Amino acid sequence: MPMVYIETYGCAANQSDSEIMAGLLARAGFQIVSNIEDADIVILNTCVVKRATENRMYERIKELNKKYSERLIIAGCMPVSEYERVKEITSASLIGPRSVSKIVGVVSKVIQGKHIEEFDEGEDKICLTKISKNKIIDIVQIAEGCASACSFCLTKYARGNLHSYPIEKIVKEISEAKAAGFKEFWLTAQDCGCYGFDIDSSLPELINKITKEVKGKYLLRLGMINPKHAKKILPELIECYKNEHVFKFLHIPVQSGSDRILKLMLRGYSVEDFVNIISEFRKEIPDITIWTDIIVGFPTETEDDFKASLKLLEEIQPDFTNISGYSLMPGTKAATLPQLSTEIKKERTRKISEVVERIIMEKNKRWLGWTGEVLIDEYNYNKGNFIGRNYAYKPIILKERLRIGEFVKVKITDAKKTGLIGSIT
């Protein structure tokens, strides 16, 4: 029985791709192993969302290529978006993100000593056999690709234009996973906000269908939503979030507090649009958790542009902010613009990080004394504690002996930058 090792980097969609590849391979008779030394075939599922991540991927490819070159398969976004560069450093076989369902054929041919490059469109990545890493969290891909063309992004090159999966198939996967014991569902795409635009549907329609047809106790976590698309479906989207099955958690990346920079990024919305979306959500759901993203040091960003981003964060007070120092990605439109020095980007990142950490701490402290139900969805083996999520998707660290998948009542007793501390009540 040939043994396969899968190493995964990147977003939830990449994690899901690896789970699907593992499931399809296991069903075909391959054995999935957790130790690379046991493997006959090694699959490296890559990410190119940031230049630093991309560089780590290249170093990992070079490392694996020394020992596994004829038995190595490079998957994920990199084989498509960085095809020529990948070919320069490895003779490994390649498979693109839209070809995941073809993994059994690729592995079978590689075992026979053949070199394979598979980029043809495969089956929709929904209702496919998979092996989930977390036995109560099902990562459900609702679409592939996106409907935007941001000037800094390479992922669009790899995953292509928006292709939304049929609502009935998504409902079917969640229903079956719920019956199998899953209790938390991550609806994932490159941009959940544009789901359905290509099939005369929408994210609110999908959520309403799921919550109406899937019975029992479970929670949905909606993935990243671009403000460009959120503003088109705002009233209906807010109503969906009021459903008891939906985590009050909104990941909506603004990227910059400067309208000039947003135009250069080709984001398709203004700062005012973003602020209005947050305001409308909080008006209806005051304690919703807001996550956003900021890119620091985008090409031509002035000190005034940077200060506008700081001002915006102070105004909206997000619960968490992902900060990325801009990194030049060859082949993108942003790469052709005048670049800022590394020193300026580092200093601005330092300044904005201080603001973000203070806001996170202030927001977390507001939960002190809260009592309510949480779903235990994770165990930290390094620290020996469980992590639960409340209705606002707040991570609560618990030291009691618990079981993954159970709902327990807790009280929040302490607040840290990294999360909340609680105890069973």
pLDDT, position 49: 75
Q: What are phi and psi of 115, to 5 degrees?
A: -100, 125
Q: Is 45 exposed, middle or buried (0-12, 13-18, 19+ CB in 10 A)?
A: buried
What's the CATH superfamily of 371-424? Nucleic acid-binding proteins (2.40.50.140)
Res. 409: pLDDT tops 90: yes
pLDDT tens column, 326-355: 999 888 999 999 999 999 999 999 999 999
pLDDT, position 89: 87
Res. 249: pLDDT tops 90: yes
Res. 54: pLDDT tops 90: no
49-63, 154-168, 267-281, 397-411: the lowest-pLDDT one: 49-63
Cα 391 to Cα 388: distance, rounded to the nearest angstrom: 10
pLDDT tens column, 87-117: 988 889 999 999 999 999 999 999 999 999 9
* Long-range Cβ contacts of 109-117 (<8 Å, 24+ apart): 110/41, 110/70, 110/71, 110/73, 111/2, 111/40, 111/41, 113/70, 115/91, 116/73, 117/79, 117/93
Q: Is 150 exposed, middle or buried (0-12, 13-18, 19+ CB in 10 A)?
A: buried
Q: What are phi and psi of 84, to 5 degrees?
A: -65, -40
8-12, 108-112, 386-390: the lowest-pLDDT one: 8-12
Residues of the chain with CATH 3.40.50.12160: 3-118
Cα 399 to Cα 391: distance, rounded to the nearest angstrom: 20
Do the Cβ atoms of 272 and 324 come closer than 8 Å?
Answer: no
Residues of the chain with CATH 2.40.50.140: 371-424
Q: Determine the average pLDDT of the residues in 296-310.
A: 98
Q: Determine the average pLDDT of the residues in 293-311.
A: 98
With a CB cutoff of 8 Å and minimum separation 6, the contacts of 1 are 29, 30, 31
pLDDT, position 111: 94
Do the Cβ atoms of 416 and 363 come closer than 8 Å?
Answer: no
Residue where the block lists tokens 């079978």:
108
Q: Determine the average pLDDT of the residues in 29-52.
A: 90
Residue 410's pLDDT band, with cuts at 50, 70 and 90, is: very high
With a CB cutoff of 8 Å and minimum separation 6, the contacts of 59 are none
- Angle at 413 (CA atoms; ends 410, 419), nearest 5 degrees: 90
pTM over 0.85: yes
What's the CATH superfamily of 3-118? Methylthiotransferase, N-terminal domain (3.40.50.12160)
Q: CB-hemisphere CA count at 13 Å for 227?
A: 27
With a CB cutoff of 8 Å and minimum separation 6, the contacts of 301 are 256, 258, 261, 326, 340, 348
Strand 249-251's sheet: what is its strand order? 249-251, 289-296, 320-325
- Other C-beta atoms lying within 10 Å of the C-beta of residue 163: 17
The percentage of the chain sitting over the pLDDT mark of 90, rounded to a whole number, equals 86
Residues in the chain: 425
pLDDT, position 368: 98
Res. 10: pLDDT tops 90: no
Res. 121: pLDDT tops 90: no
Amino acid at 83: Y
Cα 46 to Cα 158: distance, rounded to the nearest angstrom: 11
pLDDT, position 50: 76
Res. 1: pLDDT tops 90: no
Res. 207: pLDDT tops 90: yes
Res. 216: pLDDT tops 90: yes
pLDDT, position 198: 97
